[in-house]
Amino acid sequence: MDKPKVAFICVHNSCRSQIAEALGKLLASDVFESFSAGTELKERIEPGAVRLMKELYGLDMELSQRPKLIKELPPIDVAVTMGCNVECPYLPCKMREDWGLEDPTGKGEDELRRTIALIESKIKELRARLAEMGPA
Handedness of CA 110, 26, 67, 97 (dihedral sign): negative
- Tens of pLDDT, residues 21-79: 999 999 999 999 999 999 888 999 999 999 999 999 999 999 999 999 999 999 999 99
Express as a percent the part of the chain with pLDDT over 90. 82
**135 or 24, greater pLDDT:** 24
- Pair 104, 16: CB distance under 8 Å: yes
Range list of H helices, the chain:
16-28, 47-57, 61-64, 109-133
pLDDT value at position 2? 86
Q: Which fold has domain 5-133?
A: Rossmann fold (3.40.50)
Residue 69 dihedral angles phi and psi, to the nearest 5°: -90, 155
Confidence of residue 11 (pLDDT cuts 50, 70, 90): confident
pLDDT value at position 134? 76
Average pLDDT, the chain: 92
- Pair 80, 9: CB distance under 8 Å: yes
pLDDT value at position 39? 87
